[in-house]
Structure 1
Amino acid sequence: MSVVVGYVPSPEGRVVLERAIAEARARGTRLVALNVPRAAEFAQDFVADDDDLQHLDEALAAAGVEHEVRRGAGDETPADTLLDLVEEVGADLVVIGLRRRSPVGKMIMGSTSQRVLLDAPCPVLAVQFD
């Protein structure tokens, strides 16, 4: 079993990662961190470059967590890539980040978050941040 976390190289992403590390430790399972580019938006800030992923790997090793770091190919939606990984590794928890939204924004939650929350075959821990 494992904990899967959707990773974004940002201050908010580090908060989500810390929560995922704590969950993996508490469960005694490995952590699989996934960064997924969107094919049309590969240069966006939420895409981890090679240095970001190397630093992530080093941080997880320093945290003493059995782990794996992956980058999605960007040929599927981020939700599909994350959900495929959850199935592949037999995850018992998914950790994702959610941005604080206005009342209208809550009605039209981001499609990635909504898909993961609704379609994951295991519990999803949504870490909310501003």
Structure 2
Amino acid sequence: MAIVVGFVPRPEGHAALDRAIEEAKLRRVRLVVLNVSRGDALVDSRFASSSDWEAVKAKLEASGVEHEVAQTVEARDPADQLLRVAEETNAELIVIGLRRRTPVGKLIMGSAAQTVLLDADAPVLAVKAARD
């Protein structure tokens, strides 16, 4: 069993990572951190830079949580990649970050988040970043 978290180098990604670390400690399970791109990594703001990724690894090491990290570039949708990893690791929980949205934006949730929420076999914990 594992917890799988989708990481993006934005406040909601950091909030998801922090919460996933807490959950992994509470549940005493391995944490799998995934950062993915569709293949347009040079222009994909969701793909972590090497410095962002090193900071994630340092945070995980400091937490003491058993973990693994994966940063992939595949032609498939990031949500599908996250769901595939969750299935492969027999995830007991998936953690994702959500952006704060305007009232109109709330009508149309991000497609990746919506896909994960609707298609995941495991429970999904959706986390928002703290307000500034």
TM-score (structure 2 length as normaliser):
0.90
Which residue of structure 2 aligns with residue 86 of structure 1? Answer: 86
**In structure 2, how many angstroms separate the alpha carbons of the residues matched to 1:53 and 1:100?**
23
1:56 has 2:56 as partner: yes
Gaps of 5+ in 2: none
Alpha-carbon spacing, 1:72–1:41, altered in 2? closer, same or farther (3 Å):
closer
Identical aligned residues as a percent: 52
**In structure 1, how many angstroms separate the alpha carbons of the residues matched to 2:44 and 2:73?**
15
**In structure 1, how many angstroms separate the alpha carbons of the residues matched to 2:90 and 2:45?**
29
Q: How many residues align?
A: 130
Alpha-carbon spacing, 1:16–1:93, altered in 2? closer, same or farther (3 Å):
same
1:112 has 2:112 as partner: yes
Q: Deviations over 1:73-98 (max 9, x none)?
A: 23110011000000000000000011
| Aligned structure 1 segments of 4 or more residues deviating by more than 6 angstroms | none
**In structure 2, how many angstroms separate the alpha carbons of the residues matched to 1:34 and 1:42?**
18
TM-score (structure 1 length as normaliser):
0.91
RMSD of equivalent CA atoms: 1.5
Corresponding letter in the other structure for 1:16:
A
Task: Tell me if structure 2 keeps the 8 A contact 1:9–1:48.
Answer: yes
Gaps of 5+ in 1: none
Aligned-residue offset at 1:106: 1.7
Which residue of structure 2 aligns with residue 20 of structure 1? Answer: 20
Q: Deviations over 1:28-55 (max 9, x none)?
A: 0010000011323543332112332232
